[in-house]
Amino acid sequence: MSDTILIINGPNLDMLGTRQPEVYGHDTLADVEKLCEQVAGEEGFAIDFKQSDSEAEIMKWIKQGRGFTAGLLINPAGFTSTSIAILDSLLIYDKPIIEVHISPLFKRDEFRHPSHVSRAAAAKIEGCGIRGYDFAIRKLAEWARA
């Protein structure tokens, strides 16, 4: 069993803390990474934390994680409702996947409601702020130990 949880963040998440704080809060991506490191450490896991605005780069990371990570937490952000290509990459990933969204998609613009990623995810957490990452890491760690 790998002791690393892969965490992938999609487009514009590098702007957390300054981009629409009324929607996403004031925490930065660095705050999210620090939280993830802390929670994973408590669970006996390391993290591989990534962010990209590039669909191709995200797809590459998913495929590279296959066979080498204990699970995948993905916040696909703007690719949630648009990327069949990311879905296809997730469908070949060989460990559990949890989809996380900081804001509640169901309260956002209607075009943001559908998620292609959800078809590959074992669970979805949304609307819990950055604490959703905490919940997801703990669940992935539980599944990896089972």
Q: Tell me the pLDDT tens digit for each residue of 87-129.
A: 999 999 999 999 999 988 755 666 554 688 989 999 999 999 9
Sign of torsion over alpha carbons 122, 22, 84, 82: positive
Angle, CA of 106, 110 and 113, to the nearest 5°: 45
Q: Which residues pair with 97 in a beta bridge?
A: 72
- Mark the binding-site residues, compressed into ranges: 75, 88, 102-103, 112
Write down the domain spans for the chain: 1-37+47-73+88-103+122-137
Do residues 80 and 105 lie in contact, with contact meaning Cβ atoms separated by under 8 Å?
Answer: yes
Residue positions forming the annotated binding site for substrate: 75, 88, 102-103, 112
Predicted confidence (pLDDT) per residue in 6-35, tens digit: 999 999 999 999 977 776 678 999 999 999
pLDDT the model gives residue 78:
87
How long is the chain? 146
Tell me which of 93, 101, 116, 133 is the catalytic residue. Answer: 101
Query: pLDDT tens digit string along 135-145?
Result: 999 999 999 99
pTM of the model: 0.93
Question: Fold for domain 1-37+47-73+88-103+122-137?
Answer: Rossmann fold (3.40.50)
- 26 catalytic, yes or no? no
Rounded Cα–Cα distance for residues 50 and 32 (Å): 11
Containing 58, the helix (H) or strand (E) segment is helix 55-65
Task: Given the residues 24, 93, 116, 133, select the one marked as catalytic.
Answer: 24
Confidence of residue 1 (pLDDT cuts 50, 70, 90): low
Examine the residue annotation and report whether 133 is marked as an active-site residue of this protein.
no
